[in-house]
């Protein structure tokens, strides 16, 4: 989920962890490229419309309506997985 959807005290930890995973993926991609192993990160711009995200909203009286649908992310993941390394 993007920062705008995180209102909890854990938001800085979430953002730091997400950035670290993205950087780790970049390093692994460069390291494994000679072996023809692809490393990718799929990172949505906002929240994904799942029961967990809906349950964890910080303001049930004013729910966010700009979620991405899970099916769109699944299509993106399948496309990435189908590409040659």
Q: What is the domain partition of the chain in residue ranges?
A: 3-82
Judge residue 76's burial from the number of C-beta atoms within 10 Å of its C-beta, 0-12 exposed, 13-18 middle, 19 or more buried.
Answer: middle
Q: Quote the pLDDT of residue 56.
A: 63
With a pLDDT cut of 70, the percent of the chain lying above it is 75
Better pLDDT: 26 or 85: 26
**Alpha helix locations (H) across 1-85?**
11-32, 51-55, 70-82
Stated pTM of the model: 0.64
């Amino acid at each position: 989920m993007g920062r705008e959807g995180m209102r909890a005290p854990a938001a800085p930890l979430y953002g730091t962890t997400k950035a670290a995973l993205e950087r780790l993926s970049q390093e692994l991609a460069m390291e494994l490229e000679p072996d023809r192993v692809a490393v990718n990160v799929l990172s949505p711009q906002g929240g994904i419309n799942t029961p967990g995200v809906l349950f964890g909203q910080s303001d049930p009286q004013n729910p966010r309506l700009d979620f991405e649908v899970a099916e769109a992310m699944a299509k993106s993941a399948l496309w990435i997985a189908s590409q040659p390394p």
